[in-house]
Amino acid sequence: MAEAVILTSGNGSNFQAICEAVSETEHKIAAMICNKKDAYSFVRAEKLGIPAYHVPYLGRDRKDAEKEIDELLTRLHPDLIVLAGFMKLLSPEMTKKYEGKIINIHPALLPKYPGTHGIEESFASSDKELGVTVHYVDAGMDTGKVIRQKSFVRTGLESLDEIETRIHACEHEIYPQVVIELLNCLEEEK
């Protein structure tokens, strides 16, 4: 069995999709960490029976928040750290410490449209092919090595809401797959 910890900031739909898929395997989601106190991901965690921790960033230095996250990770000792809608940029110290063990999902076909508005920027572009990217996390903003992408071709008639729905569907399909595949590999390496 290999274990993952998931970091979220809001809705948590990817967190839930991963938990549901992982529950069908020998692996385990050990905990969810969220920086927003009222995030819906806490409701999901409760329903899923996953231990959840609030680590605030608001009103304090990033290094203090990261120290708390790091302490939790040291205690939980997961094989994999999964960022799922975690809207904080991790420091170079954190990404170096956990190099090769942190992955993220981005709602665009990287290297296009990094940052926090991937869906809106993809939608506003003239690109016909849109999609999502799972990648390793390095010190940059969505710059780490790409693990997998999934795309679709739009007609150009879709609304932003429709595009968003299709992007989330791609995310919920590939992110759990990648997490399980990586947990399988990490388990074999043990």
CB of 172 to ligand GAR, least distance (A): 8
Considering the candidates 27, 54, 106, 117, report the single residue annotated as catalytic. 106
**Main-chain phi, psi angles of 184, to 5 degrees:** -60, -45
**Main-chain phi, psi angles of 39, to 5 degrees:** -65, 145
Stretch that binds ligand GAR, among 5-13, 24-32, 51-59, 177-185 (CB under 6 A): 5-13
CB of 57 to ligand GAR, least distance (A): 15
3-state secondary structure labels for all residues of 94-125: HHHHCCCCEEEEECCCCCCCCCCCHHHHHHHC
Examine residue 107 and tell whether it contacts ligand GAR (CB under 6 A). Answer: yes
Which residue has the CB atom at the shortest distance from ligand GAR?
85
- Residue (147 or 187) nearer to ligand GAR, CB: 147
Examine residue 12 and tell whether it contacts ligand GAR (CB under 6 A). Answer: yes
Site string for ligand GAR, 57-96 (x = CB under 6 A): ---------------------------xx-----------
Distance in angstroms (rounded) separating the CA atoms of residues 121 and 56 = 28
Given CA atoms 88, 93, 98, 99 in this order, what sign does their dihedral have?
A: positive
CB of 117 to ligand GAR, least distance (A): 8
Examine residue 8 and tell whether it contacts ligand GAR (CB under 6 A). Answer: yes
With CA atoms as reference, report the closest residue to 121 among 136, 110, 134, 137: 110
Residues 6 or more apart in contact with residue 126 via CB below 8 angstroms: none
Site string for ligand GAR, 150-189 (x = CB under 6 A): ------------------x--x------------------
28-34, strands of its sheet edge to edge: 52-54, 28-34, 3-8, 80-83, 102-106, 129-136, 146-153
Residue 54 is among the residues annotated as catalytic for this protein: no
Q: Which residues lie near ligand GAR (CB under 6 A)? A: 8, 10-15, 84-85, 105-107, 116, 118, 142, 168, 171
- Give the residue numbers marked as catalytic: 106
